[in-house]
């Protein structure tokens, strides 16, 4: 069924938010394009977050109450459009949560722009609700995976729903080939689920059935199941790279978020087969035992790992990083015959970011780091000797207040430009879950007039600044939620 989603209430909401700005100059420009990002508004695991297409960058993110929002920046006119509410999340609450533990955060949107200029989003699920039934590829969880597309090309004001993908899934990732073929990768349920993909050759209007890649199954210890966290991206030519980590998913109360080992393989999109890094064809879906034998980069023992990002050089060889231990960011690359030794990029770990490979020996990482207490930076780290040594480059953006621990990026903007390279999310304050959203270029943030960028925080300010402990005062909380929810009706 195709569903039209109306944005008139949202437009009125934006106008009302702008109207309450009384103490600051309307002509003032700020470093963010909106402040209505919500909780974990973006991540590198749901990607792309944004794409540049015919002079405009389109950005998708999680807005108030986990709903999907879209904004756009025209690089020619230097004007912003939006944000517009694109779709209501099936996991939204009756009123906007004030505690991040009450927010699921798994249903944030991934997006792509098709060859005709239509913008596509998939969002809304952490596995998919059990009320929809069950699926052999995984265990149901919450929500419903929804695919929406803009009603008109290069227009973010109105959207329709396409019921053409599985409703079970999370961690959605789009990979678009040069010929327009689109792959949608995701975990097909909650923790105990296969990682799968669906393929479209008609600009996302239809998708082929689900194909399993990484298999979940019960281990010899029946209380533990094999599970995975994976990250996919376009490689050289018609290839797709996959890096992943292993998650032994234990029954409660012993369940943890522990992830271990590091793995890599590559899809040949000519026949959708998978190779390991040596070029040997894989049998899919891969079991834990088969992956250990054929695609393992490093066995981590009891040391925890987490996925990072993988890009490729002119030879088609992968350059990647994973997180090890307590967030230590470690880089490796394939030389054609072996993996280089894992090296630490920065002294104190690192946050989210992405990779730009300039040559087989020269690579840049754009990362969040924390050089001092209450300080966070988005900046460059570079190697010219295949990762043996790293040097700190220029800093693009710095935060030096109590909101600094809330900095997060998406992946690089697809087809990025110098003045629109990566999307950044920054905590507004400790008193609420809203986030300032910025589009960062090599010279810093792309500016926007304050009266256009202010969506949420000025509404809260109109009711008076709330000290941190005031969020436990039910009267003020209820008043704030009531005012905001006027334009966020229940689905």
> What was the pLDDT predicted at 375?
87
Q: Which of 25-29, 166-170, 323-327, 457-461 has the highest mean pLDDT?
A: 166-170
* Contact between residue 411 and residue 51 where contact means Cβ atoms under 8 Å apart: no
Q: pLDDT of 342-369, one tens digit each? A: 999 998 888 899 999 999 999 999 999 9
Check pLDDT > 50 for residue 483: no
Check pLDDT > 90 for residue 485: no
**Whats the size of the chain, residue-wise?**
491
Segments making up each domain of the chain, as ranges: 216-400
Q: Which 3 state secondary structure label does DSSP give 299?
A: coil
**Overall average pLDDT of the 28-47 stretch:** 96
Dig out the tokens for 19 from the structure.
């109207």
HEC string of 182-222? EEEEEECCCCCECEEEEEECCCCCCCCCCEEEECCEECCCC
Average pLDDT, the chain: 88
> What was the pLDDT predicted at 471?
36
| Maximal CA-CA distance, the chain | 65
Q: pLDDT of 454-472, one tens digit each? A: 988 555 554 344 443 333 3
Split at pLDDT 50, 70, 90, the class of 105 is very high
Q: Which 3 state secondary structure label does DSSP give 249?
A: strand
- Bridge-based pairing of strands 110-113 and 119-126 is antiparallel
* Contact between residue 340 and residue 353 where contact means Cβ atoms under 8 Å apart: no
Check pLDDT > 70 for residue 376: yes
> What was the pLDDT predicted at 457?
58
CATH 3.40.1160.10 applies to domain 216-400: no
> What was the pLDDT predicted at 403?
59
**Overall average pLDDT of the 90-110 stretch:** 90
Check pLDDT > 90 for residue 480: no
**Overall average pLDDT of the 80-84 stretch:** 96
> What was the pLDDT predicted at 468?
39
**Overall average pLDDT of the 12-30 stretch:** 52
Check pLDDT > 90 for residue 58: yes
> What was the pLDDT predicted at 487?
37
Check pLDDT > 50 for residue 163: yes
* Contact between residue 154 and residue 56 where contact means Cβ atoms under 8 Å apart: yes
Residue ranges in 129-285 assigned as alpha helix (H): none
Q: How many helices (H) and strands (E) does the chain have?
A: 5, 34
Q: pLDDT of 249-271, one tens digit each? A: 999 888 888 999 999 999 999 99
Check pLDDT > 60 for residue 9: no
User: What is the distance between the alpha carbons of residues 252 and 269, in angstroms, rounded to a whole number?
Assistant: 39
Q: pLDDT of 290-314, one tens digit each? A: 999 999 999 999 999 999 999 999 9
> What was the pLDDT predicted at 17?
40
Check pLDDT > 70 for residue 85: yes
Check pLDDT > 50 for residue 12: no
Q: pLDDT of 406-457, one tens digit each? A: 789 999 999 999 999 999 999 887 778 899 999 999 999 999 999 999 988 5
This model's pTM is above 0.75: yes
> What was the pLDDT predicted at 400?
85
User: What is the distance between the alpha carbons of residues 121 and 146, in angstroms, rounded to a whole number?
Assistant: 8
**Overall average pLDDT of the 204-233 stretch:** 96
The catalytic residue positions are: 106, 171
> What was the pLDDT predicted at 370?
87
């Amino acid at each position: 069924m195709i569903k039209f989603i109306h944005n008139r209430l949202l437009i009125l909401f934006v106008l009302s938010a702008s109207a309450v700005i009384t103490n600051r100059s309307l002509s003032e420009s700020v470093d963010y394009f909106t402040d209505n990002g919500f909780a974990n508004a973006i991540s590198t695991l749901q990607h792309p977050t944004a794409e540049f297409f015919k002079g405009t960058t389109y950005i998708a993110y999680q807005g108030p109450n986990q709903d999907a929002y879209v904004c756009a920046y025209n690089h020619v006119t230097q004007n912003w459009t939006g944000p517009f509410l694109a779709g209501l999340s099936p996991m939204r609450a009756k009123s906007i949560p004030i505690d991040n533990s009450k927010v699921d955060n798994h249903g944030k949107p991934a997006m792509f722009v098709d060859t005709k200029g239509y913008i596509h989003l998939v969002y809304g699920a952490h596995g998919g609700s059990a009320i929809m039934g069950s699926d052999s590829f995984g265990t149901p969880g919450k929500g419903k995976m929804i695919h929406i597309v803009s009603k008109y090309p290069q227009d973010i004001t109105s959207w329709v729903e396409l019921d053409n993908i599985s409703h079970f899934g999370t961690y959605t990732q789009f990979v678009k080939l040069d010929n327009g073929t689109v792959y949608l990768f995701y975990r097909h349920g909650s923790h105990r689920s296969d990682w799968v993909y669906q393929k479209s050759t008609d600009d996302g209007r239809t998708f082929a059935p689900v194909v399993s890649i990484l298999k979940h199954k019960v281990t010899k210890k029946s209380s533990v199941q094999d599970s995975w966290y994976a990250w996919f991206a376009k490689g050289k030519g018609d290839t797709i790279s996959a890096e992943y980590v292993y998650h032994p998913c234990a029954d409660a109360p012993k369940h943890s978020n522990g992830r271990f080992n590091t793995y890599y393989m590559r899809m040949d999109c000519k026949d959708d087969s998978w190779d390991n890094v040596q070029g040997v064809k894989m049998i899919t879906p891969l079991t834990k035992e088969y992956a250990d034998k054929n695609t393992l980069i490093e066995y981590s023992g009891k040391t925890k790992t987490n996925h990072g990002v993988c890009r490729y050089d002119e030879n088609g060889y992968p350059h990647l990083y994973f997180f090890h231990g307590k967030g230590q960011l470690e880089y490796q690359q394939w030389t054609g015959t072996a993996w280089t030794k894992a090296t630490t990029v920065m002294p104190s770990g690192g946050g989210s970011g992405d990779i730009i490979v300039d040559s087989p020996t020269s690579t840049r990482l754009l990362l969040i780091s924390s050089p001092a207490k209450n300080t966070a930076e988005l900046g460059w780290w570079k190697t010219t000797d295949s990762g043996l040594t790293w040097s700190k480059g220029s800093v693009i953006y710095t935060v030096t207040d109590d909101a600094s621990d809330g900095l997060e990026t998406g992946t690089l903007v697809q087809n990025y430009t110098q003045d629109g390279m990566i999307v950044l999310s920054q905590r507004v304050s400790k008193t609420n879950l809203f986030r300032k959203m910025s589009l960062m270029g090599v010279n810093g943030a792309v500016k926007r007039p304050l009266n256009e960028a202010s969506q949420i925080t000025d509404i809260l300010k109109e009711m008076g600044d709330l000290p941190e402990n005031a969020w436990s005062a039910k009267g003020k909380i209820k008043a704030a939620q009531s005012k905001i929810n006027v334009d966020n009706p229940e689905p």
